């Protein structure tokens, strides 16, 4: 505490509420706690920014029927040195370049369990019963909502819960 002067602590506590900015004993505790929060939040900010990069990459990958984990696996296996910040910027501002990187990574890495999605048209989807067309009758009838049943009072002479 020897390196902290009273003037320095009071200068750091400007803008605090109530006695935290005036009373020195309270100011010491509030300033030191604020400095602890600053230290932690500098690391949390980096975490949150990386999370947003991953979300934008994932969204761009989903547009071309790929998920994030397979894409990152492919990029790492193909020895392309792109970090997530660069990939997120490419996904947002250069979608064609991002698609080219994705295609090249797939060609070089050959990720496991990859198969092309089934390309079916509307009529075939109806025939496979993936979609339903027409009125809801027979087997395709949705489950009916349960009827609302209000609580029946056992003894009508007794007051109910609300009254």
Q: Quick check: 148 pLDDT over 70?
A: no
Residue 131 maps to a domain = yes
Residue 155 maps to a domain = no
- The pLDDT, as a whole number, for residue 58 is 93
Per-residue pLDDT band at 130 (split at 50, 70, 90): confident
In the chain, the number of structural domains is 1
**What's the average model confidence in pLDDT over 11-20?**
84
Domain span at residue 109?
6-140
- The pLDDT, as a whole number, for residue 76 is 86
Alpha helices, H only, 64-128: 68-77, 84-93, 95-109, 122-127
- The pLDDT, as a whole number, for residue 89 is 93
The domain that holds 59 is classified in CATH as 1.10.1900.20
Contacts of residue 70, defined as CB under 8 A and 6 or more positions apart, other chains included, come to 61, 111, 114
Per-residue pLDDT band at 139 (split at 50, 70, 90): low
- The pLDDT, as a whole number, for residue 9 is 85
Cα gap 54→58, rounded to integer Å: 6
Cβ atoms < 10 Å from Cβ of 3: 5
Reduced to 3 states, what is the DSSP secondary structure of residue 47? helix
- The pLDDT, as a whole number, for residue 87 is 92
**81 CB-side CA count, 13 A:** 0
Residues 42/48, Cβ–Cβ less than 8 Å? no
- The pLDDT, as a whole number, for residue 160 is 59
25: left (phi over 0), alpha (psi -120 to 50) or beta: alpha
Reduced to 3 states, what is the DSSP secondary structure of residue 17? coil
What are φ and ψ of residue 107, in 5° steps?
-65, -45
Residue 120 maps to a domain = yes
Q: Quick check: 116 pLDDT over 70?
A: no
Residue 108 maps to a domain = yes
> 132 or 129, which is more confident?
129
Cα gap 59→142, rounded to integer Å: 33
Per-residue pLDDT band at 43 (split at 50, 70, 90): very high
- The pLDDT, as a whole number, for residue 104 is 87
Per-residue pLDDT band at 44 (split at 50, 70, 90): very high
Q: Quick check: 55 pLDDT over 90?
A: yes
Residue 1 maps to a domain = no
Cα gap 34→17, rounded to integer Å: 13
Residue 70 maps to a domain = yes
**What's the average model confidence in pLDDT over 55-76?**
88
Residue 38 maps to a domain = yes
**What's the average model confidence in pLDDT over 84-93?**
92
For residue 139, give the H/E element and its range.
Answer: none
């Amino acid at each position: 505490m020897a390196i902290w002067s009273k003037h320095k602590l009071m200068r750091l506590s400007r803008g605090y509420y109530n006695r935290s900015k005036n009373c020195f004993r309270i100011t010491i505790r509030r300033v030191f706690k604020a400095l602890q929060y600053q230290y932690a939040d500098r690391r949390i900010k980096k975490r949150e920014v990386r999370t947003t990069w991953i979300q934008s990459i994932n969204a761009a990958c989903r547009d071309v029927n790929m998920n994030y984990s397979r894409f990152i696996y492919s990029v790492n296996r193909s020895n392309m040195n792109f970090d997530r910040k660069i990939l997120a910027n490419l996904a947002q501002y250069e979608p064609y370049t991002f698609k080219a990187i994705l295609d090249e990574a797939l060609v070089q890495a050959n990720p496991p369990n990859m198969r092309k999605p089934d390309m079916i048209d509307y009529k075939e989807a109806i025939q496979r019963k993936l979609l339903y067309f027409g009125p809801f009758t027979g087997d395709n009838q949705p489950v009916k909502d349960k009827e609302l049943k209000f609580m029946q009072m056992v003894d009508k002479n007794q007051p109910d819960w609300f009254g």
